[in-house]
C-alpha cells in the first residue's frame, strides 16, 4: 500500500526527460500558442508527456520528458516550482529544465539550484524530493523538464497514468519488458501497446483532458485513464489466476491454522457460547469477546507506530487468545477460528475497496483485493463480520467493503461469485435535536445534541479516536462557524468515542447573534438549524463523471424554539414533501406551534441513496434538481410578527 501511494505521488507529479540527451526543437506554433488545444480555458497544457521505461536491466530505468505551455498567471504559479519525489533506494539524476519565451529566448536551470528535501514521512519511510524553481517562468512561456529515475526491482505491477491534472496533447509510455508482460487498461478506449523500436513497446493517448474533481465523483481509478502492467503467464485464465492466487494468499495468512482451531480456542468458544441457542446469538457472543477481551493493537491510541511495529506477530490464533492481544487481522482470524470451533463454516473474505476502485473479478490482479472480513454461513447464506475493525458494530462492514465482489478462501478452495450486502438508510442515521430560545433581537441560544449510528458513527470515530478532546472540540467549532459565522459554542461533550457498539454523540451550548433577521416588527426565522448556511450540493450545470454516494443515510431532526414574548406566527407554511419517483431519496417536514407556551416545534426527516448509490452522468440534471429542491426546502424561512 505504501509503495502504491508513493507511485501515485511520483506519477502524479512527474516531469521531464528526453529519450536522448538533447532538447527537442520548439516549433513557432508552440511558442505562439495562447490557448489550450484540448481545453480552451486551461491555465496550462502539456504539449507532450513521455516516459521511457527500460525493465531489461538490473535496475528499472525511467526517463521522463514533458513540455508545458503556460497560459495564465495560475498556470505560471503552478509550474514555476517542481518537486520530484523519491524514496530510499531510488536515484534521481540528469535533472534539467528550461524556459522558452515566445521570442525564442531560453533560460536554463543551473545545477546549483536543485535542492533535496523531505516532504513527508509515512510510518518509518521518508519520502524525499528533488526540488527546484524554474527560472523566468511567465505567461506565454514554455517550460520543459527532464530527469532519469533508477529504481531497484522491476516494472511488475507498475501503474502508468495517462491522465493528470493538466490537459495533454500527446502522452506516450515506451516500455521495454524483461519478459512477456500483461496489462489492464482503464478508461483508455482502444489505446494499447504496439511494438516500437529496439525492443520497446509504445502506448499513446492524444488530446487527453485534465482530470478535474467533481462533487460526489467515483474514486479516481474509476474515471482516470491509466494502465496496470504486470508479468504473468500469458495462457493463464481468470479462474486459474484466482485459484493460484488463492493458494498463495491462504498460505500467507495461514488459513489452515485459522480454520482448524486448537483445543484452547475450541474450549473458549464453547464456554462463551454456552447456554446460547440461535446461531446469531452464538456469533454475537464470540464477536463481543474478540472485540472486548482481546486488546486491538491496530486501534490503540496509546501506542506509537514504532511501538506497534515492535510487537511480534502472533504465530497462531491460539497465541492471539493466550496473549489476549492482536492486530485487526489477527483478531478477525481468531473470530473465524472460534466460529469454526462452534461448527460454522467460516472463510476469510478478500474483496475490493470501493473508496479506491470497484472490484471486478474479471480483472485478475491481487492489488485489487485485500483481507476485508470473515464470512460465516448462517442458514444457507453468507454473513460478514469484522471484529478487527474496532469501531464497526456487530454484523456491519465499513461502507467501502459493502456491495463489492469478494473471494471466500478456505485452506482447500475459494468461492468467487459472491458479493457482500449493502446496508440500508435505516442503519446509518443522524439523530439531531435542539432546544432553543429566540430573543427579540434575532439571537438564538440553546443546547444541541447530535447522535450518529452505522456508517456515520464509524467514520466519526475513525476521524476522532486519535485526536485530543481539545482538537475534537476545535474541529466541531470550525464546522459550526463555517455555516454560522457569529456562533458562540461552549460546553462541548463527546460520548462513546471509543465504544464500538454505542452511537457516537456530542452535545454543546450555542449562541448565535443575528440568527433571525429583523425588519420592523417582523423576524424572519429559519427553523432548520442543522441546515442553516448550507449550499446546494451540486453547483455546475454540466457533469462529466458518474455521481457516487458512498452509502445510504438518513437524518431525523427535532427542533424546539421558544419564541420571544409578544411574537406569533405570521407566515409558517410547512414545505411540501419531496420524493423522487424511485423513492431513492425523500424529505418531509412537520411544523407545529403552541400559542399557550410559545413553543415552535420543527421536525425534519430525510434519507438518500436507498438501495442505489451510483448514478450515471446522464442522471445528473434530475439529480441536481432533486438536491436543489432539498436545499431550498431546508432553507425555507418562517415569518414572526410582533403583536
Each residue of 330-350: pLDDT tens digit? 999 999 999 999 999 999 999
Please give the residue that has the higher pLDDT: either 181 or 371: 371
Give the Å distances, CA to CA, from 610 to 423, 553, 582, 631.
9, 8, 9, 19
Structure confidence at residue 14 as a pLDDT band (50, 70, 90)? very low
Q: Does residue 20 surpass a pLDDT of 70?
A: no
Please give the residue that has the higher pLDDT: either 2 or 197: 197
pLDDT for the residue numbered 244: 87
Mean pLDDT of 318-341: 97
pLDDT for the residue numbered 21: 53
d(CA 562, CA 27): 73
Percent of the chain with pLDDT over 70: 96
Alpha helices, H only, 436-486: 454-464, 469-483
pLDDT for the residue numbered 342: 97
Q: What's 177's DSSP letter?
A: -
d(CA 551, CA 403): 10
Query: Taking the model in full, what pTM does it have?
Result: 0.89
pLDDT for the residue numbered 9: 38
pLDDT for the residue numbered 124: 60
Going by C-beta distance under 8 Å and a sequence separation of 6 or more, which residues neighbour residue 500?
291, 390, 391, 392, 393
Residue 553 in contact with residue 423, Cβ under 8 Å?
A: no
Mean pLDDT score of the chain, rounded to an integer?
Answer: 92
Structure confidence at residue 261 as a pLDDT band (50, 70, 90)? very high
Residue 144 in contact with residue 67, Cβ under 8 Å?
A: yes
Q: Does residue 270 surpass a pLDDT of 60?
A: yes
Alpha helices, H only, 342-400: none
Mean pLDDT of 298-311: 90
Q: Does residue 3 surpass a pLDDT of 70?
A: no
Percent of the chain with pLDDT over 90: 78
In 3D space, the residue among 94, 231, 266, 88 whose CA is nearest the CA of residue 154 turns out to be 231
Mean pLDDT of 448-457: 97
Going by C-beta distance under 8 Å and a sequence separation of 6 or more, which residues neighbour residue 358?
218, 219, 222, 352, 404
d(CA 530, CA 557): 8
Q: Which of 36-40, 197-201, 233-237, 448-452 has the lowest mean pLDDT?
A: 233-237
Q: Which DSSP helix (H) or strand (E) runs through 333?
A: helix 328-341
Q: Does residue 57 surpass a pLDDT of 90?
A: no
Structure confidence at residue 12 as a pLDDT band (50, 70, 90)? very low
Strands 444-452 and 91-100: unpaired
pLDDT for the residue numbered 10: 38
Q: Does residue 534 surpass a pLDDT of 60?
A: yes
d(CA 614, CA 40): 30
What pLDDT digit, counting tens, does each position of 71-81 carry? 999 999 998 88
DSSP-based three-state secondary structure for 519: strand
Residue 154 in contact with residue 176, Cβ under 8 Å?
A: no
d(CA 429, CA 453): 5
Structure confidence at residue 166 as a pLDDT band (50, 70, 90)? very high
d(CA 267, CA 240): 38
Amino acid at each position: 500500500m505504501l509503495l502504491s501511494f508513493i507511485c501515485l505521488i511520483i506519477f502524479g507529479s512527474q516531469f521531464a526527460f528526453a529519450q536522448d540527451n538533447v532538447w527537442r526543437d520548439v516549433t513557432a506554433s508552440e511558442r505562439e500558442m495562447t490557448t489550450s488545444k484540448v481545453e480552451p480555458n486551461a491555465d496550462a497544457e502539456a504539449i507532450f508527456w513521455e516516459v521511457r521505461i527500460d525493465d531489461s536491466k538490473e535496475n528499472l530505468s525511467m526517463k521522463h520528458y514533458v513540455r508545458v505551455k503556460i497560459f495564465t498567471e495560475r498556470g505560471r504559479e503552478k509550474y514555476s516550482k517542481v518537486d520530484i519525489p523519491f524514496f530510499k533506494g531510488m536515484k534521481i539524476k540528469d535533472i534539467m529544465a528550461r524556459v522558452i519565451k515566445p521570442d525564442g529566448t531560453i533560460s536554463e536551470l543551473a545545477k546549483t539550484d536543485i535542492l533535496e528535501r523531505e516532504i513527508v514521512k509515512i510510518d518509518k519511510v521518508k519520502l524525499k524530493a528533488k526540488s527546484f524553481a524554474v527560472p523566468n517562468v511567465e505567461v506565454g512561456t514554455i517550460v520543459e523538464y527532464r530527469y532519469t529515475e533508477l529504481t531497484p526491482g522491476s516494472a511488475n505491477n507498475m501503474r502508468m497514468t495517462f491522465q493528470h491534472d493538466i490537459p495533454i496533447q500527446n502522452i506516450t509510455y515506451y516500455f521495454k519488458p524483461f519478459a512477456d508482460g500483461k496489462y489492464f487498461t482503464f478508461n483508455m478506449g482502444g489505446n494499447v501497446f504496439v511494438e516500437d523500436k529496439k525492443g520497446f513497446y509504445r502506448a499513446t493517448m492524444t488530446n487527453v483532458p485534465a482530470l478535474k474533481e467533481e462533487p460526489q465523483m467515483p474514486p479516481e481509478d474509476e474515471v482516470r485513464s491509466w494502465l496496470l502492467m504486470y508479468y504473468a503467464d500469458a495462457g493463464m485464465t481468470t479462474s486459474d489466476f484466482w485459484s493460484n492466487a488463492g493458494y498463495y494468499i491462504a498460505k500467507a495468512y495461514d488459513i489452515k491454522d485459522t480454520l482448524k482451531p486448537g483445543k484452547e480456542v475450541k474450549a473458549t468458544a464453547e464456554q462463551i457460547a454456552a447456554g446460547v441457542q440461535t446461531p446469531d446469538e452464538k456469533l454475537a457472543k464470540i464477536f463481543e469477546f474478540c472485540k472486548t477481551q482481546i486488546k486491538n493493537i491496530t486501534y490503540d491510541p496509546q501506542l506509537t507506530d514504532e511501538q506497534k511495529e515492535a510487537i511480534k506477530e502472533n504465530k497462531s490464533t491460539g497465541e492471539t487468545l493466550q496473549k489476549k492481544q492482536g492486530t485487526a487481522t489477527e483478531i478477525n482470524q481468531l473470530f473465524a477460528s472460534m466460529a469454526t470451533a462452534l461448527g460454522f463454516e467460516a472463510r476469510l473474505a478478500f474483496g475490493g475497496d470501493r473508496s479506491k476502485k470497484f472490484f471486478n473479478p474479471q480483472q485478475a490482479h491481487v492489488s485489487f483485493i485485500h483481507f476485508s472480513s470473515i464470512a460465516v454461513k448462517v442458514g444457507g447464506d453468507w454473513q460478514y463480520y469484522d471484529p478487527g475493525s474496532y469501531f464497526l458494530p456487530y454484523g456491519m462492514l465499513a461502507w467501502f467493503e459493502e456491495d463489492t465482489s469478494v473471494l471466500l478462501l478456505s485452506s482447500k478452495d475459494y468461492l468467487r461469485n459472491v458479493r457482500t450486502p449493502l446496508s440500508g438508510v435505516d442503519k446509518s442515521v443522524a439523530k439531531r435535536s435542539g432546544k432553543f430560545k429566540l430573543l427579540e433581537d434575532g439571537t438564538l441560544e440553546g443546547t444541541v445534541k447530535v447522535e450518529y449510528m452505522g456508517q456515520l458513527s464509524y467514520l466519526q470515530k475513525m476521524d476522532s479516536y486519535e485526536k485530543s478532546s481539545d482538537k475534537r472540540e476545535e474541529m466541531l467549532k470550525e464546522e459550526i462557524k463555517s455555516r454560522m459565522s457569529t456562533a458562540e459554542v461552549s460546553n462541548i461533550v463527546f460520548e462513546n468515542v471509543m465504544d464500538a457498539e454505542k452511537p457516537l454523540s456530542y452535545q454543546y451550548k450555542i449562541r448565535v447573534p443575528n440568527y433571525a433577521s429583523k425588519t420592523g416588527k417582523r423576524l424572519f426565522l429559519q427553523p432548520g438549524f442543522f441546515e442553516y448556511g448550507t449550499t446546494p450540493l451540486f453547483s455546475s450545470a454540466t457533469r462529466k463523471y458518474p455521481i457516487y454516494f458512498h452509502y445510504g443515510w438518513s437524518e431525523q431532526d427535532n427542533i424546539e424554539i421558544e419564541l420571544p414574548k409578544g411574537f406569533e406566527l405570521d407566515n409558517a407554511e410547512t414545505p411540501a414533501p419531496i420524493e423522487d419517483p424511485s423513492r431513492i431519496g425523500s424529505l418531509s417536514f412537520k411544523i407545529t406551534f403552541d400559542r399557550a407556551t410559545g413553543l415552535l416545534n420543527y421536525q425534519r426527516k430525510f434519507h438518500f441513496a436507498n438501495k442505489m448509490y451510483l448514478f450515471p452522468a446522464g442522471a445528473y440534471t434530475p439529480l441536481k434538481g432533486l438536491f436543489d429542491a432539498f436545499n431550498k426546502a431546508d432553507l425555507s424561512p418562517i415569518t414572526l410578527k410582533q403583536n
